[in-house]
Amino acid sequence: MLKVVVLVSGGGTNLQAIIDGMAAGRITNARIEAVISNNRGVKSLERAAAAGIPGFCVSPKDYETREAFHEALLSKVEEFAPDLIVLAGFLVRIPEAMVHRYANRIVNIHPSLIPSFCGVGYYGLKVHERVLERGVKVTGATVHFVNEGMDEGPIIAQKAVYVEDGDTPEILQRRVMEQAEWILLPAAIDDIANGRIEVQDGRVVRKDGGKE
Ligand code: GAR
């Protein structure tokens, strides 16, 4: 059984997709041990509580330095000895020590087709604002392993979503979530929990021969 810790910052719809995926058997061999938020009072923590999952807040506001926050976050994560850390809308940069300790054991969902619209400053609604400003006609989401770079780790899966006339950032965000994120992230966790993927030479390969 893969022990999963989920890190969140806000609404937690991706967390909900994971919880629902586990309840429905779309994700097998995995269990969420804890949900950790960097923000207090967020819907994500309510979703965790409703599912009977322990929830915690480790806020940078409670620490004098970034280093102290990083240490606190890492030690909270380590309490659960996770096999996998899932960044499900976790909008702060994670400590480098965590990246090294959990190499190829941290996954992130990003709301664009990486390497477009990613990197510093591209998170949450801002991604969709920039997509609309640029006028691209296709966007999407990417689930990837986390390395030292910003949105640069090995890509596990991507799904394209059309931009439509009249889209606002909020409408587009919702479509990308519904058509891509809430499908890709649970599927990636299921693949990892069932040993279907591995990282070779910085790229993700499927052991079942490339079938998605
Ligand atoms: C999601 O769209 C996720 O892809 C994005 O934040 C949103 C969180 O929503 N993550 C990033 O932008 C990471 N760079 P949620 O809290 O409802 O899952």
Domain total in the chain: 1
Phi, psi of 160 (to 5 degrees): -85, 145
Put simply, whether the predicted model's pTM sits higher than 0.85 gets the answer yes
In a domain, residue 118? The reply is yes
62: Cβ–Cβ under 8 A, 6 or more apart, which residues?
Answer: 69, 72
Give the residue numbers spanning the domain of 180: 2-197
We report the CATH number of the domain holding residue 192 as: 3.40.50.170
Q: Inform me whether the pLDDT recorded for 212 exceeds 90.
A: no
Residue having the nearest C-alpha atom to atom 12 of ligand 1: 123
Q: Inform me whether the pLDDT recorded for 145 exceeds 70.
A: yes
Percent of the chain with pLDDT over 70: 98
Task: Please identify every residue annotated as catalytic.
Answer: 110
In a domain, residue 211? The reply is no
**Separation of 75 CA from ligand 1 center, angstroms?**
24
In a domain, residue 212? The reply is no
Mean pLDDT, the chain, integer: 96
In a domain, residue 206? The reply is no
CA 82 to centroid of chain Cα atoms: 15
Q: Inform me whether the pLDDT recorded for 208 exceeds 80.
A: no
**Separation of 90 CA from ligand 1 center, angstroms?**
7
**Separation of 89 CA from ligand 1 center, angstroms?**
3
In a domain, residue 203? The reply is no
pLDDT digits (tens, 9 = 90+) for 75-104: 999 999 999 999 999 999 999 999 999 999
Please indicate whether residue 11, judged by its CB atom, sits closer than 6 Å to ligand 1: yes
